[in-house]
């Protein structure tokens, strides 16, 4: 579980860095248009949002259909895998070293 926590922290740090870079240096309306015009840009976006939806499904499974899960999913769609890394890190700490509790949340037996 220690390795998973390290990876989640690295994900939060990496995503924080690139989000700050993107928001301060980039121009989403200009740069986003270039991505949409490129076939591989479209493939990358479909791939990315497929991951967002799958990860969001895990969040909803763990949290249930609650306001809390709704907020996490919105953050996932806006901030991407920064949110996923943060959510996973929190879940890892809340699980107390129990992988079943990590994956299933309150639904875990025992």
Domain ranges of the chain: 2-107
| pLDDT of amino acid 110 | 59
| pLDDT of amino acid 32 | 86
| pLDDT of amino acid 109 | 76
| Low-confidence residues of the chain: pLDDT under 50 | none
63: three-class secondary structure by DSSP: helix
Angstrom distance (rounded) from CA 29 to CA 78:
15
| pLDDT of amino acid 13 | 98
pTM score: 0.89
* Whole-number average pLDDT of the chain: 94
């Amino acid at each position: 579980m220690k390795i998973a926590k390290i990876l989640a922290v690295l994900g939060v740090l990496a995503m924080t860095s690139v989000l700050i870079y993107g928001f301060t240096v980039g121009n989403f309306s200009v740069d986003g248009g270039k991505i949409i015009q490129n076939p591989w840009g479209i493939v990358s976006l479909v791939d990315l949002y497929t991951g967002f939806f799958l990860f969001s499904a895990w969040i909803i499974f763990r949290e249930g259909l609650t306001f809390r899960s709704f907020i996490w999913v919105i953050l996932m769609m806006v901030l991407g895998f920064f949110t996923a890394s943060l959510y996973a890190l929190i879940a890892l700490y809340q699980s107390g070293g129990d992988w079943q509790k990590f994956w299933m949340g309150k639904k875990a037996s025992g």
